[in-house]
């Protein structure tokens, strides 16, 4: 299932446009390719789109994106200046069908996929690299914040949008600056 760009996608894309200029960009969970497309339009040096979904990969390749099948970083090599991720971030809802859940649900609590991402991102983020990630007010952030701190990183909320039942945020995460 290809995730159709929604409010979270557009909120993130606006920031990708700003941060992608001249950078090597990794688009994790690329889906429709909206973030990859925005990065290229902004003047990214290079963009690699990865997704675990075969349908998304075929779609990305038809659009001539450099696309690789990967479960997060499993098939990613190298370091990137900008890593973009619009993850499945909602807590599990048994009423949602399985296909839709794959695109929206981040695990039982909603933070599990983000935690996996943060555990592995260090190996792929360049020295002055930046992570842009979307979170929802419905996503528990306690373990995420703890892992960011443990990774010697810091986060800043750089965009937000309030919707009917939630607030979306784009977090900019980078290595802690030395004092």
**Ordered structural domains, the chain, with CATH:** 7-175 (3.40.50.150)
Cα dihedral across residues 105, 37, 43, 122: positive or negative: positive
Name which of 70, 90, 64, 59 is nearest 29 in CA terms. 70
Tens of pLDDT, residues 122-156: 999 999 999 999 999 989 999 999 999 999 999 99
β-strand 125-136 against 167-175: which pairing, if any?
antiparallel
d(CA 73, CA 70): 6
DSSP code at position 137:
T
Name which of 153, 132, 166 is nearest 14 in CA terms. 132
Query: What global pTM score does this model have?
Result: 0.92
Tens of pLDDT, residues 20-76: 999 999 999 999 999 999 999 999 999 999 999 999 999 999 999 999 999 999 999
């Amino acid at each position: 299932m290809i995730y159709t760009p929604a409010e979270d996608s557009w909120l993130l894309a606006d920031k990708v446009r700003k941060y992608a200029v001249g950078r090597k960009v990794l688009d994790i969970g690329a889906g429709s390719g909206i973030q990859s497309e925005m990065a290229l339009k902004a003047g990214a040096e290079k963009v690699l789109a990865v997704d675990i979904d075969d349908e998304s990969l075929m779609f990305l390749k038809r659009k001539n994106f450099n696309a690789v099948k990967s479960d997060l970083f499993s098939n990613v090599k190298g370091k990137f200046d900008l890593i973009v991720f619009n993850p499945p971030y909602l807590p599990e809802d048994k009423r949602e069908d399985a296909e839709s859940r794959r695109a929206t649900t981040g695990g039982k609590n909603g933070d599990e996929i983000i935690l996996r991402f943060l555990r592995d991102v260090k190996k792929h983020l360049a020295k002055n690299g930046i992570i842009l990630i979307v979170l929802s007010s419905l996503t528990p952030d306690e373990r995420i914040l703890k892992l960011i701190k443990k990774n010697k990183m810091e986060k800043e909320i750089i965009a937000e949008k309030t919707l009917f039942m939630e607030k979306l945020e784009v977090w900019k995460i980078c290595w802690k600056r030395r004092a």
